[in-house]
Chains A and B, each alone.
Chain A
Amino acid sequence: MSATKATGGLYALLTEFESPAQFMHGCERVRDAGFKHWDAHSPFPVHGMDDAMGIRGTRLPWLVLVGGLSGLSLGVLMQWWMNAVDYPYMISGKPMFGLPAAVPVIFELTVLLSAFACFFGMWGLNGMPRLSHPLLAHDRFRRASQDRFYIVIEARDPRFETEKTRAFLASLGGSVVDEVRESVEG
């Protein structure tokens, strides 16, 4: 940590709120202003936040569906190939490929690949794994896990203009507007 200094280029502007109501109202205004690369941070889940931030439904379920269907097909093909084609072997008078006997493995593979798709898909969509984040080097931001709420607008947002955005954030009613710098090694 000590080797990392947050002295790089401007990463984002941040503003801090003390109450969830103000915070949520602020989010609605950022949403309505049309920003895309921004985020809200709270020590606990705030109900209604998805609407306030204008978050669209996640694509994750589709990834899970694909994962599940892959597991299902894999389970069917694998057992059919192994038991009925590659090494046919009669077991207790059952058909070479008896579906009931294959179902548990098909089921487990469906669940396994769905879970993988869900877990790693979540990583992918969230830009993980990531070893550090500029916000984590920001002193004030430490209270995001305790008793303060933050709205952070990133500099890469097409609508971001340092002075105008600073003024906009200040108008949201938060207590302070602060710069978040990129971390630099050294």
Chain B
Amino acid sequence: MAHHRVPTLQDTRTTLDGLGPRVLGISVAVGLAGLAAAVGLGLAQGDGLKHFSFAYLLNFAFFLGLSLGALFFIGIMFVTRASWNVVIRRLAEVMAAVMPLMAVLAIPVILLAGNIYGWMDPEVANSHAMAHKTGYLNLGAFTVRWIIYFVIWSGYSLFYWRSSLAQDKTGDLAITRRFENLSGFALLACGISMAAASFDLVMSIDPLWFSTMFAVYYWAGGFVTFFAVMTLVTLGLQRTGRLTRIVSPEHFHDLGKAMFAFTFFWGYIAFSQYMLYWYANIPEETAWYLLRSQNGWGELGKVQLYCTFGLPWLGLVSRWAKRSRKVLAFWAVWIIVAQWLNLYWVVMPEYSEHFVFSPIAVVCFLGIGGLWLAGVTRLAMGGSLVPTRDPRLDESLRFENA
């Protein structure tokens, strides 16, 4: 306040300028090359792209969860009328607004559904246990639901991004008020649709298994991944001289708190889902965990207990850790890798009941990740990296953790 000057947007660069086309070029190249390589490797397996299908699904689910995390973040910030986030909110807006691209990337999942989903197998679909599920779990209904999901998600994410850009020009306060009024509905609509989507996308691979916690499990993973990616993107931009000073250790401290909190939340949910099934010990429920606790998958599961939950949580307990750019960057990378491994453990055992290391999944990560980053960069090139005329920008610039 009195003793140090509050930074302004003039103190730093707030546009991508020359960086945009470079990142765009590289990420498109990596994305297309990665997907092509993944398809190539997949074809070389001679399994009718079965391995590729699971690798693709895993990475699609990972980046979809990330973008949905961004969308939830924006919604939550508006319903709580929070101000700290304003200097980084545009980044969340573009991460969410790639939703139409994610819709295009969802098409292969629908085309390859026969390779992935148990309910596509006529023998399973006609079994007694599926009698009441086939009305919901069939390709037609599945496709229609995905269209609905993406209409909702694209609608809201584009609405946030476009209106926010419009506010940069006009400074219209009514836009912020509209955000605040509509975000409650947005969270409700996205919450319900994301829950259904997590059942469709991942849980229904084994159509006989069910968990009411699965939606929260998937959401928590995506949400903590979002905070980790947001931290890395912001730190990366600062290394190129963008958003320096205006995004201060105070903001990183909050991102660190979010990573800390949602790492724990993820662990809490993951454990609760496990513990209830372990305790009740009913075969149709434990089958899912049985598959993932044998033949090498169990070891990965245990590694995860420490890597996805315990270590990053302990590593981020300290205030010092959350305010150190280097420590924060380390745990952000860690969390991203660990959450990806978690989805690997959730998805891949359905492909092979023996543990497999899948280079296709790694290459596919580069593929979908490259395209995701290209989409985000393309959108970020369309304006400032900061909502320049948001009414709470000044509060955000002055933000200090008490």
Listed in ascending order, the chain A residues whose CB lies under 8 Å from chain B are 20-21, 24-25, 28, 45-48, 51-52, 57, 61, 65, 92-94, 100-101, 103-104
Whether the Cβ atoms of B275 and A47 lie closer than 8 Å is no
Question: Are A20 and B1 neighbours in the complex by a CB distance under 8 Å?
Answer: yes
Please report the C-alpha to C-alpha distance between residue A93 and residue B317 in the assembled complex, in whole angstroms.
Answer: 37
**Chain A residues with CB under 8 A of B1:** 20-21, 24, 46-48
Question: What is the interface of chain B mostly: helix, strand, loop, or mixed?
Answer: loop
Q: What is the distance, in angstroms, from B202's C-beta to the closest C-beta of chain A?
A: 23
Q: How many residues of B contact A (CB 8 A)?
A: 16
- The contact of A100 among B2, B275, B317, B402, by CB within 8 Å, is B275
A48 in contact with B319 given A101-B275, A103-B271 (CB within 8 Å): no
The one of A25, A45, A101 that contacts B402, using a Cβ cutoff of 8 Å: A45
B3 touches A100 (CB 8 A): no
CB–CB B2/A47 < 8 A: no
Q: Give the distance to chain B from A126, nearest Cβ to Cβ, in Å.
A: 16
A-B contact count (CB 8 A): 42
Which B residues touch A61, using CB under 8 A? 318-319
Of A21, A47, A93, A100, which contacts B398 at CB under 8 A? A47
Is B357 in the interface zone, CB < 8 Å from A? no
Does B121 touch A at the CB level, under 8 Å?
A: no
Asked if B274 is at the interface of the complex by the 8 Å CB criterion, the answer is yes
Report the bound CA distance from A63 to B325 in whole Å: 26
CB of B211 within 8 A of chain A? Answer: no
B279 contacts A47, CB within 8 Å? no
Q: Report the minimal beta-carbon distance from B286 to chain A, rounded to whole angstroms.
A: 12
Question: A104–B319 Cα gap in the complex (Å)?
Answer: 27
Assess A28 versus B319: contact at CB under 8 Å? Given A48-B400, A101-B279: no
Q: Let me know if B278 is at the binding interface, CB within 8 A.
A: yes
25 contacts between A and B (CB under 8 A): A20-B1, A24-B1, A25-B2, A28-B3, A45-B402, A46-B1, A47-B1, A47-B400, A47-B402, A48-B1, A48-B2, A48-B3, A51-B3, A52-B2, A52-B3, A61-B318, A65-B317, A92-B279, A93-B281, A100-B274, A100-B275, A101-B278, A101-B279, A103-B271, A103-B275
